[in-house]
Amino acid sequence: MKRLIFHVDVNSAYLSWEAARLCAQGAEDIRMIPSAIGGDREKRTGVILAKSIPAKKFNIKTGEPVASALRKCPGLLLFKPDFQLYEKCSRAFMDICRKYAPIVEKYSIDECFLDMSGTEQIYPDPVAIAIKIKNEIRDTLGFTVNIGIGPNKLLAKTAGDFEKPDKVHTLFLAEMDTKLWPLPVAELFSVGRVAADLLKKADILTIGDLATADLQTVQALVGKKHGRQLREYANGTDNSPVLAEAEDAKGYGSSTTLEKDVTTTEEAYRILLALTDTVTSRMRADGARAFSVCVTIRGNDFKNKSHQKKLDEPTDITAEIYAVAKKLYTDLWDKKTPLRLLGVSLSDITRDAFMQQTLFSDGHKDRQRKLDKTIDGIRRKFGSDTITRGSIYRYGEDVGKKYKAQIKQKKDEGG
């Protein structure tokens, strides 16, 4: 049976989801004007998470500081992120995909793979059914997606990036010489900036050049394992399966696909803390606790790895879950492979209010619970980005002291 894979990717997801909500309320479509999802406009803090096509004309880039974006475009319309909205929209478009595909794999909050292999009798024209899925998402949910079609995940994902927005593209093996091989080598999946520079210096300028290059030469430039993989990708070879996942994991999770590869433990820890902070605050809002913690990583080799730990008793304390997440991450990462994705998920959820009591109170846990409760309260009242745990920043200790001083000052002033 020939493989047939679709890759569905929401166009400028965070901005599109905010635009769909506003349009449903009768407001202007922010996708048509310079706009972005980011931090606080007045304080000029935070970074740009997504931007409209008109904003791109001002050279505004995802990941750049809000202050920098506002210097480029003083009239930029800025919206704070709403992750509850994003999760709702993510579930909605993947539910539509599940109506058509036997197997759907969530790749990130705004991407999924559909394994359409064996559906030829039901959908004889893959492009036609892809257009139908794309249009149903647009007409039902109010935002657009790109769908790439290919014989494997690599080529389907590559096809989806050809032209945006609201498009369907194919990339089959017979089309590689016209659609893939003429592209710059830097556009091949998993070719980072360093690898691209090394290949260019060896006069390997296009993906086609890489596909026909001597394997030993490529391996000498970028390493034995990575070199073999890049040459296979350039020739359209990818045997990774589309993995079916449960629609309802009965838990809490948060993951992020990184624009820049993570290559140090320090960077990973900061991201893990931010993810842990997100999932634990959502869990506490529901009055829940978790018995199990799981960490997932994805390297630039396109492979997922995960470890899970069962706890002796359920917890909702951010610091406790973060400590477990760090240990799981340390066990997972080989300290060599650059990472593209990090995720933290909590399962074996209990909402039983009863907690086993010990004869003596654990003062440390009590302090941690009070800290979590204080942070949750501030965010509910003033917004989710009002306060951030200091360790998320490079100079976490200094930032933490700053927040403590601010909170103490408010208390002294009777705030």
3-class secondary-structure state, position 349? strand
Amino acid making up residue 168? V
Q: In whole angstroms, give the CA distance from residue 289 to residue 285.
A: 10
Strand spans (E) along 226-303? 252-262, 289-299
Amino acid making up residue 286? D
Query: If you search the block for the tokens 């793979």, which residue do you land on?
Result: 113
Q: In whole angstroms, give the CA distance from residue 45 to residue 49.
A: 12
Q: In whole angstroms, give the CA distance from residue 390 to residue 245.
A: 34
Q: In whole angstroms, give the CA distance from residue 15 to residue 30.
A: 8
Q: In whole angstroms, give the CA distance from residue 72 to residue 59.
A: 8
Q: Tell me the CA distances in angstroms from 319 to 119, 315, 322, one per residue in order.
A: 47, 10, 5
3-class secondary-structure state, position 312? strand
DSSP string, 52-96: -HHHHTTT--TTSBHHHHHHH-TT-EEE---HHHHHHHHHHHHHH
Q: In whole angstroms, give the CA distance from residue 49 to residue 35.
A: 11
Which active-site residues does the annotation give? 111
